[in-house]
Chain A
Amino acid sequence: MSAPPEIPCDEAVRRVYEFLDSELDATWQERVRRHLEVCRRCYPLFNFERAFLEHIRSRGHPVERSEELVTRIRAALDETG
């Protein structure tokens, strides 16, 4: 017989991003972690949300080039001296 989850699903789900961002305090991080160990409904949801965040972040830092901007900035710096 497994121990019942200490927090209900909605308490875990509303903290999904704080948990995945490691922004919860140690007590809550542990509560959510333990909930996920035993909850068959929340575990896949958290996995899905983790995949989503990793996807957004893996796009990496946006880098874009604007030649006009380079020209403008060099001119502005020349003026400033």
Chain B
Amino acid sequence: MSEDRDKVARFEAEALVHLDSLFGLALRLAGGEKARAEDLVQEAILKAYRAWADFRPGTNCRAWLMTILRNTFINEFRSDQRRPTPVEFDEVGDRSVFAEIQGIDPEGRFFDRLIDEEVIRAVDELPEEFRIPVVLSDLEGLSYQEIADALQIPVGTVKSRLFRGRKRLQARLYEYAREMGYIR
């Protein structure tokens, strides 16, 4: 009984303090769908709680929880998990924002004028096949190999999805910036 209370107390102190970070990642992975992100975090937290004996105190608890959350998302919450790999084709093409803007803002200063909400919206709107690698790389800091392992896809596919995902994201941010008048 008191052992249980102790376990809960330790779990709360070490794991639940990372809830907001977990939810942030869950929201981006789920493309901003709040209910799906909440279900995902709850599922990951319960898994972590059941596996709490495996967690080695003194190691990085946040990283451990993030890995559980990521794997839970990939294995159980991805909406494309049963679909065949989509054709690697992108109608946006590799249109370069730089080519359009180099005459007026070659250093990309307009990026700094965008507000967080515009960036988040642009990430959330990416198709899942592009969004997940972008989130894992640019927000979570995973290497190409780590992303390939997590998604069980070849490193070459990670490269191409990151390339296209980032180009799409960049094109969207450029559009926002024009709409908002950050770029004349």
A residues contacting B by CB (< 8 A) are 14, 17-18, 21, 23, 44-45, 47-49, 51-53, 55-57, 59, 61-66, 68-70, 72-73, 76-77, 80-81
Q: How far is B96's CA from A21's CA once the two chains are assembled, in angstroms?
A: 19
Known: A18-B159, A73-B19. A57 touches B96 (CB 8 A): no
Contact yes or no, A44 B106, CB < 8 A: yes
B contact residues around A77 at 8 Å (CB): 8, 11, 45-46, 49
B8 CB to nearest chain A CB (Å): 6
B contact residues around A52 at 8 Å (CB): 108, 111, 166, 170, 173
Q: How far is B119's CA from A28's CA once the two chains are assembled, in angstroms?
A: 32
B residues contacting A by CB (< 8 A) are 4, 8, 11, 16, 19-21, 23-25, 27-28, 34, 38, 41-42, 45-46, 49-50, 96-98, 101-102, 106-109, 111-112, 114, 116, 119-120, 134, 137-141, 143-144, 159, 162-163, 166, 169-170, 173
Query: Main secondary structure on chain A at its contact with chain B?
Result: helix
Task: Name, among A14, A68, A80, the residue most crowded by chain B CB atoms within 10 Å (CB to CB).
Answer: A80
Cβ 8 A contact of B23, one of A45, A65, A80 = A65
B32 CB to nearest chain A CB (Å): 10
Cβ 8 A contact of A48, one of B28, B102, B134, B139 = B102
Contact yes or no, B162 A17, CB < 8 A: yes
A-B contact pairs, 14 of them (CB 8 A): A21-B144, A23-B144, A48-B107, A51-B107, A55-B108, A55-B111, A55-B119, A59-B119, A61-B21, A62-B120, A62-B139, A65-B20, A77-B49, A80-B46
Query: Main secondary structure on chain B at its contact with chain A?
Result: helix
A contact residues around B102 at 8 Å (CB): 44-45, 48
A contact residues around B134 at 8 Å (CB): 56
A contact residues around B114 at 8 Å (CB): 55
B contact residues around A14 at 8 Å (CB): 163
Q: How far is B77's CA from A75's CA once the two chains are assembled, in angstroms?
A: 22
Contact yes or no, A57 B139, CB < 8 A: yes
B contact residues around A80 at 8 Å (CB): 46, 49-50
Contact yes or no, B112 A62, CB < 8 A: no
Known: A51-B108, A59-B119. A66 touches B34 (CB 8 A): yes
Contact yes or no, B108 A76, CB < 8 A: no
A68 CB to nearest chain B CB (Å): 7
Q: How far is B45's CA from A76's CA once the two chains are assembled, in angstroms?
A: 9
